[in-house]
């Protein structure tokens, strides 16, 4: 089957940007952004996210960081706030522009940081330029994930660190929510190779008008192959959510919001507050989670 053109990828993620973040971004001020970054960091610490574990913010002052796939720019802005010189790239114009706007709102706190429209499969940078390469839930939506990771390796300095989140096939969400419920019982598995993409990613206020062209998930063995050029590999499974379970999930999410509340840190990265998880979800994350958090070092 012929791969979807990259314009389809840009169209989908541009439309999703508008659905999730468009209204929020248009009204964003410097004061609101600064408070949003405080909230975002607090949420990441609560969730043990890789931006405060595998890539501790305290290590970023003065470092040159490349973020591949900036989303709406919340992660890049948080790294810049902690003193990193951030280069942020996204294949989608709306997302690259949103990130640039956040750097502008940060003013001197984002000195030297830039946001560019670029393709992760052919990064427009010299070899050995960055101290860190960071990508959160992006590279599994590319035509050639292995090529993206090879590019990340190329632009890292010797001794530099890569920190990436990719979707986990060894997870409850893949085997039960997606394969069993959506793939087999609803028949999506039999409607084309990219059936996972077609049933994932959409959200926000707008009705979905375009399909997600590509989503991949990886086993532990496959992750090892993708990152074989790196040393000191650390691989951590994380992120389990009951609300992703079909039918039951909507009710359970409302229950969680009443019981545990919704964290404002979600506004910058989800376009809405993050519904806090339950203790059992936190416990299940390392066992059945949907995310691989991986880090590695480029050998000297």
pLDDT digit of tens for each residue in the chain (300 aa)?
Answer: 456 689 999 999 999 999 999 999 999 999 999 999 999 999 999 999 999 999 999 999 999 999 999 999 999 999 999 999 999 999 999 999 999 999 999 999 999 999 999 999 999 999 999 999 999 999 999 999 999 999 999 999 999 999 999 999 999 999 999 999 999 999 999 988 889 999 999 999 999 989 999 999 999 999 999 999 999 999 999 999 999 998 888 898 999 999 999 999 999 999 999 999 999 999 999 999 999 999 999 998
Nearest alpha carbon to residue 233 among 243, 221, 241, 244: 221
Provide the token pair at 172.
């409850």
- H-only helix segments in the chain: 6-17, 23-26, 30-47, 74-81, 93-106, 145-155, 172, 195-198, 220-226, 248-260, 267-270, 279-288
Residues 88, 113: contact at Cβ < 8 Å?
yes
Contact 248, 294 (CB under 8 A): no
Return the closest-CA partner of residue 136 out of 63, 39, 214, 69: 69
First to last CA, the chain: 40
- The per-residue b/e assignment along 44-63, b for 16 or more CB within 10 angstroms, e otherwise, is beebbbbbbbbbebeebeeb
Distance CA 300, CA 298 (A): 6
- Yes or no: say if 295 and 273 are a contact pair by the CB < 8 Å rule: no
Please compute, for residue 97, the number of CA atoms within 13 A of its CA located in the half-sphere on the CB side.
10
Task: State the sign of the Cα–Cα–Cα–Cα dihedral 140, 234, 72, 101.
Answer: negative
pLDDT for position 272: 92
> Dihedral of the CA atoms 43, 44, 47, 50 (nearest 10)?
170
Per-residue tokens: 85: 């010189």
Nearest Cα to 56, choosing from 158, 153, 170, 132? 132
């Amino acid at each position: 089957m012929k791969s979807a053109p990259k314009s389809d990828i840009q169209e989908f993620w541009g439309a999703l940007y508008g659905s999730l973040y468009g209204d929020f971004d248009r009204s964003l001020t410097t004061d609101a952004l600064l408070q949003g970054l405080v909230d975002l960091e607090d949420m990441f610490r609560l969730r043990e996210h890789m931006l405060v574990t595998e890539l501790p913010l305290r290590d970023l002052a003065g470092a040159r960081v490349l973020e591949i796939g900036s989303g709406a720019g919340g992660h890049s802005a948080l790294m810049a706030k902690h003193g990193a010189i951030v280069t942020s790239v996204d294949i989608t114009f709306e997302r690259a522009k949103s990130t640039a706007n956040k750097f502008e709102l940060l003013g001197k706190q984002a000195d030297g940081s830039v946001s560019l429209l670029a393709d992760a499969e052919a990064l427009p940078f010299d070899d050995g330029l960055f101290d860190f390469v960071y990508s959160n839930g992006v590279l599994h939506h590319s035509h050639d994930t292995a090529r993206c990771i090879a590019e990340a390796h190329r632009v890292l300095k010797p001794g530099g660190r890569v920190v990436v989140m990719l979707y986990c096939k060894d997870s409850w969400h893949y085997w039960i929510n997606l394969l069993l419920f959506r793939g087999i019982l609803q028949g999506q598995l039999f409607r084309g190779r990219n059936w996972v993409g077609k049933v994932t990613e959409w959200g926000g206020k707008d009705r979905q008008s375009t399909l997600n062209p590509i989503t991949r998930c990886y086993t532990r063995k496959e992750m090892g192959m993708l990152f074989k050029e790196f040393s000191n590999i650390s691989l951590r499974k994380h992120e389990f959510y009951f609300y992703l379970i079909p039918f039951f999930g909507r009710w359970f999410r409302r229950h969680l919001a009443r019981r545990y509340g919704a964290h404002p840190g979600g506004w910058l990265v989800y376009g809405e507050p993050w519904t806090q998880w339950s203790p059992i979800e936190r416990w299940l994350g390392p066992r059945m989670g949907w995310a691989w958090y991986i880090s590695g070092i480029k050998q000297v």
